Amino acid sequence: MTDALHDLVDLRERTRAFAAARDWEQYHTPKNLAMALSVEVAELAEHFQWLPTGRVGELAQGQQEAIRQELADVLLYLVQIADKLDVDLHAAALDKIQLNAVKYPAPKA
């Protein structure tokens, strides 16, 4: 198992255990998780909303940690949705990179 795949499996197992310990599985349908994911993505985007370019130098002090937390929320919800839908995120990402390489060939970029 590659490190990236191992890391995703580890996150999946940890999110399963976290939800099970709180009896939250009943609420973790793909629909509910997708809605929660969209909220977290919006919270992430909010940090960049009024910045001229959104480059790192424009972030206020402390914003990077807040962004780090939002990125973690996005990732964890994404892992949970993939788990519920039996999607191998690592394989899906690799497939998507290959599809994008065909769709957007480097010489034409």
Query: Which structural domain range is residue 98 located in?
Result: 3-108
**For residue 65, what are the contacts with CB-CB under 8 A and spacing of at least 6?**
none
Model confidence pLDDT, tens digit, residues 76-96: 999 999 999 999 999 999 999
Mean pLDDT of 9-35: 97
pTM score: 0.90
The owner of tokens 């994911």 is 37
Question: CA 100, CA 77: separation in Å to the nearest integer?
Answer: 24
| Number of domains comprising the chain | 1
Tens of pLDDT, residue by residue over 28-69, are 999 999 999 999 999 999 999 999 999 999 999 999 999 999
> What is the per-residue pLDDT for 5?
78
Indicate which CATH number applies to the domain containing 45. Answer: 1.10.287.1080
Q: What is the pLDDT of residue 4?
A: 78
Which residues 6+ apart lie within 8 Å of 87 measured at CB? 81
* Amino acid found at 103: K
Alpha-carbon span 75 to 57, nearest angstrom: 24
